[in-house]
Chains A and B, each alone.
Chain A
Amino acid sequence: MTKTDHPLQGAATALKYLVLVGGAFIMVFPFVWMMIASLMTAGEIQLRPPVWLPAVPQFNNYAELVDSIPIARLYFNSLFTSGIIVFGVLLSSSLAGFAFAKYRFPGREFLFYLILATMMIPFFVTLIPVFFIVRQLGWIDTYQGLVVPGLTSAYGIFLMRQFMITVPDEIIDAARIDGASELSIYWRIVLPLIKPALATLGTFVFIGAWNNFLWPLLVLNSRELMTLPLGINSLRSLYADNTNLLMAGTAVSVLPMLFVFIYLQRYFIQGIALTGLKG
């Protein structure tokens, strides 16, 4: 859209960038302030009038943090459990989605509508019974208690089915004529064709699992199994009077994920726009 220059055009453009910069400042500032505060002394945070920067950056805060909570262990727990959940959801959703998209069997419509209906169920309605089930299984304070209820996703099955239905039947039939088994059709032909959808679903599920708080809070007790959000939560009481250390802990848990996001941003955002419009 090109237009001839108009005196108001310049002002409008300036205003546009002003709004964008203002918005971006609000978005970025909390992260920056978290990092600045994490380098202050406990005293500097409480000074009046306030100081905006630490006199001497206290990198020590991070050393102290590492001494008081097992950061590496928290990272391992978060990565490990989120990784298993992503793998489980991708596998179960793509297998079921494949069956719903490319096979005919009695009960298919009924089961698919059942899955659509379960997509509507919010987590809080099933929270108490699922907790009860996990407790009856003796899985409180275990990885499997954290992970197993999350290994399937009705939304995932739905999404995979929507994408797999676009895979032409001719390709599948051709593979059958060549003697491919059903499993190898799934693994060698259909899965590679829906890689972008798998990546998108995997990203969603990963962020959800990585940031999940309520379920781990209920299931896990011991420090050895804690995920990152639980770690931050325990810092809240541990560092009630040391906001600088609390901010250091939050920074350590948040920033690496942000860097990964910035590195893969285009792909993240496109996927989210795509599924948002499909759903």
Chain B
Amino acid sequence: MSVPAVKSSWFTPDIPKSPLMRRRMLWAYAFISLPILALLVFLLGPILFSGWVSLHRWDMLSPVSEMPWRGLGNYIFLLTKDRVFAKALGNTFLFAIGGVGANTVLGLGFALLLNSPVRGRRVWRVLYFMPVITAPLALAVMFSFIFDRNFGVVNSVITSLGLPRQPFLSAPSQVLMTLVFIAVYQYVGYYIVIFLAGLQGIPQDYYDAAQVDGAGKRQEFRFITLPLLKPVMLFVVVTNTIGALQVFDLVFATTGGAPANSSMTVVLHMYNTAFKFSRMGRASAMAFILFGIILLITIIQVRLLRDRAYGD
């Protein structure tokens, strides 16, 4: 066996004694060297640098060594003075809540339908999955047209039914809802597939036993399906929230944050701040605030869903 008896830990690195083991160790370092170097250069280094930049004023043109220090000035400005950022945060939260809620309910609902005896399960799955692999940018372009106030097909249907024309993406009151619809359209198929895999992982025995005990469908769902699906639920809610809070492509190509910033999101605002207005410090601070929020929400979600999963 190639595994020595002593268990290595963070603190007691065990350096293999035999020359053969040493050679293998060198091979291992060779295998990881390039990937680790790349992660240092393109992930770990940048996150540290980004944190440093967020404490400065920087336009990316002046030398890094001459960035004027601002301390927490960027953070304070964003959290107290930047109205657009506040708006963007609010919009991003609403977008995430709407999207995650709808994806979870619809994803589980359709997964339950597809898990019941149904013809053509594979065909349904493929149809629901098509938008998942389509570029968000392409969907944004398609739906800008579909929801267009004047020439959109949805309005064609609505008006031919004698109902009033709706603005959808062009009115502050409807734009977020419409964006949530598009985002759910895009990703619900992914969550259906995940939930379906979770449902198929629940042993049939449990349901058989419940039926012997005289449990109804509703009770089976409440006391078998839901509790056993909690790890999958956790995965769906956490990944979907993380993704939704970072929305960019969809908003960029449908509204660009308009009208009147009513669909501005944090990453879009960050992009504008950095690459239109060259305020790298402020944009980096924005990134860190959002990153902090994402971490916090993830921790809360994991706590909530995990405790209930193993609590009872």
Chain A residues close to B by CB (< 8 Å)? 1, 16-17, 19-20, 23-24, 26-28, 30-31, 33-34, 37, 45-46, 49-50, 92-93, 95-96, 98-100, 102-111, 113-115, 118, 120-130, 132-133, 135, 148-149, 151-152, 154, 157, 169, 172-173, 176, 182-183, 186, 207, 210-211, 213-214, 218, 228-229, 232-233, 235-236, 243, 246-247, 250, 253-254, 257-258, 261-262, 265-266, 268-269, 272-274, 276-277, 279
Contact = CB atoms under 8 A, between A and B. Distances in A.
A124 B135 contact: no
Given A50-B160, A258-B130, 19 more contacts: A27-B127, A30-B142, A95-B34, A105-B29, A109-B10, A124-B246, A126-B50, A127-B274, A129-B47, A129-B53, A130-B46, A149-B42, A152-B39, A235-B141, A236-B253, A261-B129, A269-B129, A269-B193, A276-B194
A157 B257 CA distance: 36
A108 B134 contact: no
B93 interface: no
Identify whether the interface residues of B are mostly helix, strand, loop, or mixed. helix
A71 to B, nearest CB: 14
B44 interface: yes
Given A103-B28, A106-B14, A207-B133, A23 B110 contact: yes
B113 A276 contact: no
A49 B189 CA distance: 34
Contacts of B128: 23-24, 27
Contact of A45 (B3, B151, B248): B151
Given A108-B8, A132-B60, A269-B125, A257 B133 contact: yes
Contacts of A96: 31-32, 35-36
Given A95-B31, A214-B248, A121 B287 contact: no
Given A103-B25, A149-B42, A265 B122 contact: yes
Interface in B271-286: 271, 274-275, 280, 283-284
Interface residues of B, number: 99
Contacts of A33: 142, 146, 153
Contacts of B198: 277
Contacts of A50: 151, 153, 156, 160
Contact of A250 (B141, B185, B271): B141
Nearest to B36: A111
A16 B283 contact: no
A182 B24 contact: yes
Task: Identify which of A24, A128, A235 gathers the most chain B CB atoms within 10 Å of its CB.
Answer: A128
Nearest to B134: A254
17 contacts: A19-B110, A24-B128, A27-B189, A104-B2, A104-B16, A106-B14, A110-B10, A128-B274, A128-B280, A210-B135, A211-B135, A211-B136, A211-B137, A254-B138, A268-B129, A268-B133, A269-B129
